[in-house]
């Protein structure tokens, strides 16, 4: 499944460096395990390290650049039938070789194909599972991706605290009121508890905060 998802998301070896998803260069079926040979973007660090190196909250313009790339990448992945299901700072690389950081997405091991009906079992990081999984035992692809992008947006802007869905449900997580109004609005749209009231990926992409 991971091979299939990576090929869908980024293409084969000839696509190295061309997509937001890291490219699968080759793979070997070893009966009880599969060996994946992947593109290695360099120089780069994972987004968690990038955040820690910042020693606190990132400024909105830096976060805006990272999030815009992630939203665009999520839309492309979903259009190709790829549901990553584990969007978080550890699964995102930041290429640091130029003045503008470039986002690359890794680790499709928890992913699956996009389907129209709800999913039941959750594969991914429970801290970032959408609230409907805890309340209803079911979740859908696009609203889950939006929720995880919203959680990541919170972490980038907070700089210190991990987002945990269960803590958010118990109202133990609050937004920084010093953020711009557009930014706070986007956070609220992404982290709406009701998935039907949550922003779509396209609404995120077109939000005024990115203008």
44 band by pLDDT with thresholds 50, 70 and 90 = very high
Residue 167 has pLDDT above 90, yes or no: yes
- What is the predicted pLDDT for the residue at 131? 98
Joined tokens for residue 199: 């922003």
Residue 80: helix, strand or coil by DSSP?
Answer: coil
Which one-letter DSSP state was computed for residue 101? -
Residue 159 has pLDDT above 90, yes or no: no
The shares of helix, strand and coil residues in the chain, as percent rounded to the nearest 5, are 45, 15, 45
Mean pLDDT across the stretch 163-177?
93
CA distance 203 to 190: 10
CA distance 82 to 193: 24
94-135 pLDDT, tens digit each: 999 888 899 999 999 999 999 999 999 999 999 999 999 999
Q: Are 81 and 113 in contact (CB under 8 A)?
A: yes
Q: Are 189 and 195 in contact (CB under 8 A)?
A: no
Domains and CATH numbers, the chain: 41-210 (1.10.510.10)
CA distance 210 to 204: 9
> What amino acid positions are annotated as catalytic residues?
86
pTM of the model: 0.96
Joined tokens for residue 27: 């793979």
């Amino acid at each position: 499944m991971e091979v299939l998802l990576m090929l869908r998301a980024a293409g084969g070896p000839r696509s190295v460096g061309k997509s937001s998803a890291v490219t699968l260069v080759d793979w070997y079926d070893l009966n009880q395990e599969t060996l994946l040979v992947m593109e290695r973007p360099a120089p780069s660090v994972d987004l968690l390290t990038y955040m820690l190196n910042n020693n606190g909250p990132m400024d909105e313009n830096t976060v805006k650049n990272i999030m815009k790339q992630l939203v665009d990448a999520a839309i492309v992945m979903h259009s190709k039938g790829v549901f990553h299901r584990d969007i978080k700072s550890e699964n995102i690389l930041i290429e640091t070789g130029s003045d503008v950081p470039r986002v690359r997405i890794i680790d499709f091991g928890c992913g699956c194909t996009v389907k129209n009906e709800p999913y039941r079992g959750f594969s991914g990081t429970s801290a970032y599972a959408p609230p409907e999984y805890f309340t209803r035992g079911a979740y859908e692809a696009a609203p889950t991706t939006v929720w995880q992008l919203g959680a990541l947006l919170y972490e980038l802007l907070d700089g210190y605290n991990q987002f945990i869905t269960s803590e958010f449900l118990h109202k133990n997580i609050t937004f920084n009121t010093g953020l711009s109004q557009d930014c706070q609005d986007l956070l609220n749209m992404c982290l709406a508890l009701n998935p039907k009231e949550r922003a779509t990926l396209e609404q995120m992409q077109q939000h005024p905060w990115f203008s």
